[in-house]
Amino acid sequence: MNHRVKNLLALASGLVALSARTAKTPQELAEAIQKRLGALARAHDLMLIEFTEGKESSERPTTLPALVGAIVSPYLPQGHDEDARIFISGPDTPIGGNAITSIALLLHEFATNAAKHGALSTSTGQVNIEWSVERDELLLTWREHGGPSLSGEPKREGFGGGLARAIVTGQLAGQISRDWNPEGLVVRLSVPLERLTKSDETTHGR
């Protein structure tokens, strides 16, 4: 528990520092930090450690569908199925350790960008989140359509783009690519399955 708490505090501290670089006002900084910490809190709820007679027993099993659903839940409309704007499809891929918080932050940044500038910023836009497992790799696609028309790749990378690249290529040892199609952004990433289940202790310091 001591190790887990220190990891979370270090992550929160890093988020504050990174958010401060792009925030234009104190209010914008506070809102960005609150939302990112909220995403971490929802992810943490999925991996609470159980205790038996004062001893740590095991982490609650977590799958990628559960994590994706928890992170995008603030953007889901309250209504009938025909009102859905975010569609999730993929196998029950196990996920644990540091990968839970890493994927949570990654998806939060995708969703935030979609809500501000992409498909979720309009009343008709939709997002498809799909993944599969091939040759010991997770292949995930975030596909937007029905939002504002895109004129190409932005001239400079924003906070979310830099954070996503650092998470995928650094923490998860994977690859990420973006296609800025006129009909909407498409993000593709591949991550070795072994990186999705490594414990905090295994990845600590990397």
108 is a domain residue: yes
Tell me if 152 is assigned to some domain: yes
Task: Supply the pLDDT for residue 50.
Answer: 43
Amino acid found at 158:
G
Mean pLDDT of 26-54: 66
> Domain tally for the chain?
1
The band of 49, judged by pLDDT with boundaries at 50, 70 and 90, is: very low
Examine residue 172 and state whether it is found in any structural domain, yes or no.
Answer: yes
What does the alpha-carbon distance between residue 153 and residue 180 come to, in Å, rounded to a whole number?
Answer: 6
Residue 182's identity, in one-letter code, is P
Check if the beta carbon of residue 150 is closer than 8 Å to that of residue 187.
no
**Which structural domain, as residue segments, surrounds residue 142?**
61-203
pLDDT in tens, 111-134: 888 888 899 888 889 999 999 999
| pTM of the complete model beyond 0.85 | no
Q: What is the pLDDT of residue 8?
A: 55
pLDDT at 108 over 90: no
pLDDT at 47: 61
168-193: pLDDT as tens digits: 999 899 999 999 999 999 999 999 99
pLDDT in tens, 91-102: 999 988 778 888
pLDDT reported for residue 190: 97
User: Is residue 189 in some structural domain?
Assistant: yes
Domain annotation covers residue 33: no
Helix (H, G, I), strand (E, B), or coil: what is residue 20?
Answer: helix
Domain presence at residue 2: no
Q: CA nearest 112: which of 28, 45, 44?
A: 28
Q: How far apart are CA 30 and CA 113, in angstroms?
A: 17
Residue 182 phi, psi (nearest 5):
-55, -35
Count CB neighbours of 87 within 10 A: 11
The answer to whether position 43 is within a domain reads no
CATH of the domain at 158: 3.30.565.10
Q: What are phi and psi of 203, to 5 degrees?
A: -95, 0
Calculate the alpha carbon distances from 10 to 14, 17, 119, 141 in Å: 6, 11, 33, 29
- Residue 185's φ and ψ, nearest 5 degrees, are -75, 140
- Higher pLDDT: 162 or 6? It is 162
- Amino acid code (one letter) for 72: V
Contact between 141 and 130 under an 8 Å Cβ cutoff? The reply is: yes
Q: In whole angstroms, give the CA distance from residue 68 to residue 57.
A: 25
**pLDDT interval class at 12 (50, 70, 90):** low
In a domain, 5, yes or no: no
Q: Could you tell me if 47 and 59 are in contact, meaning their C-beta atoms sit under 8 angstroms apart?
A: yes
Residue type at position 187: V
